[in-house]
Amino acid sequence: MSNADQFGELLEAYALGALDAPERAALEAHLATNCPECTAALAEARWLVSQLAYAAPDAAPSDMLRGRLMQIVRAEAAQETASAAREIRVARAAKPAVPYWMWAAAAALLVVAVYSTWTARKLQEQVYETNQRAIAELNSREKIEEELAAVRREASILADPGSFKIALATSQPDLAPMQANWSPQLGIVLSGRKIQPPAGDRVLQLWLIPKAEGSKPIPSQTVRPDANGNFVLLVATPPGAMEDTKALAVTEEPAGGSPLPTTPPTWVGTTASASPTR
């Protein structure tokens, strides 16, 4: 049988001197058997009681002990106020008197418990809110920095004296041409104006058509023009070199892009037609 189960909760009350006589007798009989669990638990309970005497906030009494303390405190308060109940007071006088420090400790304990629970919850909320705000700020700053870096890179490519301009013409009369600027060091900037956005969530995808015989188009990034039909696509690391590329092509593809074109190219520009940007 697990004695700890049977006596564990009584030990704290015993250490406080708050047990009824029958409970105390039963526990003392058991303690006389030198049960190691209960002996250790009693030592811990005595330590706890000594901590409670100073209402140390790090002492964590069980709910059972807390309940018992409050019972005692309430009974004591009832005694003080109910002057008519003298017989009860006489009857209770047979029990061991509640030490003054226990009353103070219980009151302090209650205050500490309520206050620290409230404070902890408040603090938790504040920490959570602060964290959320910091994460949001960090995310937006990262996003802004990424966008700034992209814009700087695009500007560098357009300003790079070593970069080339490639016009991507379209056979469709209702569509405007696109322009690519390709810097061997900094990558490709593909831009368009008044380009009707594809239907639904479909996208425009850039392809590098290799010079090598029989090789397939190399997929690059995708983009969707904004509501005005404008877009700027930065390809910082093109999937091929300009000298190995015959042409740049743009197709319409499902969202996320495709590994191979699923539609014929709508815009094409050959590297042979490339002219220095500046």
Contact residues for Zn ion (CB under 5 A)?
Answer: 3, 35, 37-38
Which lies closer to Zn ion via its Cβ, residue 62 or residue 258?
Answer: 62
Question: What's the min distance (Å) between Cβ of 41 and Zn ion?
Answer: 8
Report the residue number, 3 or 62, with the smaller CB distance to Zn ion. Answer: 3
Minimum distance from CB of 67 to Zn ion (Å)? 22
CA distances in angstroms from 173 to 176, 225, 229, 266, listed in the order given: 8, 18, 16, 11
Residue 215 backbone dihedrals phi, psi, to 5 degrees: -85, 150
| Residue with smallest beta-carbon separation from Zn ion | 3
C-beta neighbour count of 94 within 10 angstroms: 7
Cβ distance to Zn ion smaller for residue 34 or 81: 34
Q: What angle do CA 147, 149, 153 make, to 5 degrees?
A: 115
Quick one: 1 or 272, whose CB is closer to Zn ion? 1
256: left (phi over 0), alpha (psi -120 to 50) or beta: left
CB of 3 to Zn ion, least distance (A): 3
Q: How far is the CB of 49 from Zn ion (least distance, A)?
A: 19
Q: Cβ 65 to Zn ion, closest distance in Å?
A: 18
Dist. CA 196–CA 178, nearest whole Å: 12
Q: List, in order, residues 6 or more apart from 221 with CB less than 8 Å away.
A: 205, 206, 233, 235, 257
- Which residues are within 8 A (CB) of 104 and not within 5 positions of it... i.e. 6 or more apart? 55
At which residue do the structure tokens 């409670």 appear? 52
Q: Residue 64 CB, nearest distance to Zn ion (Å)? A: 16
CB-nearer residue toward Zn ion: 39 or 230: 39
154 contact partners, CB below 8 Å, separation of at least 6: 189, 232, 234
Task: Please identify, using beta-carbon distances, which residue of 3 and 270 lies nearer to Zn ion.
Answer: 3
